[in-house]
């Protein structure tokens, strides 16, 4: 459980990147933090594993204040996968890359061996075990970066812009992977501006603008509110755009799921025919 209470954060150049943010993330939740570039999304999530400490206010991870502990300790519970895998890959082989964090955390060699095998398998990387991560494709490098964090099995996983530069199939695989994490009751926080991706996952959305939270609720409520989205410079998901137009027929507006969309349209047509 992560609890942020009225946090403010100033960068050394005195820019106030967070202006009083309070947020509680419960165990097992799946949250998307959305907003324009510069809205403070990345600054906020960097507080969850102690990379940044609030200037004012407190952040507690499982009851422990982040100012009273180290990133290395917090990282055991909160795994953070950065946007660009090239910002972390450095080992000679994929296997070493995944073992890096495990060694830092002081796991026993046998445990490390087991964990590496497990993580490779989970992300379909087993065939690349002895390959240099630099020889892999962009999508594969992204998976290695993810595996290198999953290896120590943190309770919470933070993914910064996981869909950037990914094609349709890679996004679909990522979505399925997150769903799998959900079944295991893991907490997943994604920072993203990919509305279509968020619309396809049924989750809680936290909308930020200029260092503040402007909305917090279900994806289907927030992503179908044109005024709110315009305020945060986000576009409506495709399905929501269709239903925004269809609302003149008395159909509901808060639809983002394609299957739900189909049912509603078919029902509307039947009732129209009956009349």
* Residues at the interface with other proteins (CB under 8 A): 11-13, 15, 17, 36-38, 46, 49, 51, 70-72, 75-76, 79-80, 82, 84, 86-90, 100-101, 104-105, 134, 137-139, 148-149, 152, 164-171, 193-196, 233-235, 237-239, 241-242, 245-246, 248-249, 258-259, 261-262, 265-266, 268-269, 272, 275
Between 183 and 248, name the residue whose CB sits nearer to other proteins.
248
- Cα 154-192-140 angle, rounded to 5 deg: 65
CB 245, min distance to other proteins, A: 4
Cβ partners under 8 Å of residue 51, min gap 6: 71, 80
Structure tokens at 212: 């503040």
Nearest of 165, 206, 156, 203 to residue 83 by alpha carbon:
165
Between 37 and 183, name the residue whose CB sits nearer to other proteins.
37
Between 69 and 183, name the residue whose CB sits nearer to other proteins.
69
CB 108, min distance to other proteins, A: 15
Q: How far is CA 245 from CA 198, 213, 242, 248, 252, in A?
A: 21, 28, 5, 7, 10
Q: How far apart are CA 247 and CA 260, in angstroms?
A: 15
CB 229, min distance to other proteins, A: 9
Between 166 and 187, name the residue whose CB sits nearer to other proteins.
166
CB 126, min distance to other proteins, A: 20
Cβ atoms of residues 61 and 77 within 8 Å: yes
Between 183 and 274, name the residue whose CB sits nearer to other proteins.
274
CB 45, min distance to other proteins, A: 11
Cβ atoms of residues 25 and 19 within 8 Å: no
């Amino acid at each position: 459980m992560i609890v942020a209470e009225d946090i403010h954060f100033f960068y050394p150049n005195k820019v106030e990147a967070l202006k009083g943010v309070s947020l509680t993330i419960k165990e097992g939740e799946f949250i998307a933090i959305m907003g324009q570039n510069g809205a403070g999304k990345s600054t906020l999530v960097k507080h969850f594993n102690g990379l940044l400490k609030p200037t004012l206010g407190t952040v507690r991870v499982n009851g422990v204040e982040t100012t009273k502990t180290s990133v290395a300790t917090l990282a055991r519970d909160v795994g953070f996968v950065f946007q660009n895998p090239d910002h972390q890959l450095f080992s000679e082989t994929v296997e070493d890359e995944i073992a890096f964090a495990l060694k830092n955390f002081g796991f026993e060699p046998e445990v490390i061996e087991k964990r590496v095998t497990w993580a490779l398998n989970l992300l379909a990387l087993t065939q690349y075990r002895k390959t240099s991560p630099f020889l892999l494709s962009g999508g594969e490098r992204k998976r290695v970066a993810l595996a290198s964090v999953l290896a120590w099995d943190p309770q919470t996983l933070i993914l910064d812009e996981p869909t950037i530069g990914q094609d349709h199939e890679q996004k679909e695989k990522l979505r399925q992977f997150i769903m799998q994490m959900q079944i295991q009751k893991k907490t997943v926080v994604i920072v993203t501006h990919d509305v279509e991706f968020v619309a396809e996952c049924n989750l809680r959305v936290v909308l930020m603008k200029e260092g503040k939270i402007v909305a917090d609720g279900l994806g289907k409520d927030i992503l179908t509110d044109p005024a709110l989205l315009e305020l945060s410079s986000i576009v409506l998901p495709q399905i929501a755009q269709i239903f925004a137009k269809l609302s003149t027929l008395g159909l509901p507006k808060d639809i983002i799921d394609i299957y739900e969309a189909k049912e509603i349209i078919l029902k509307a047509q039947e009732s129209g025919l009956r009349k």
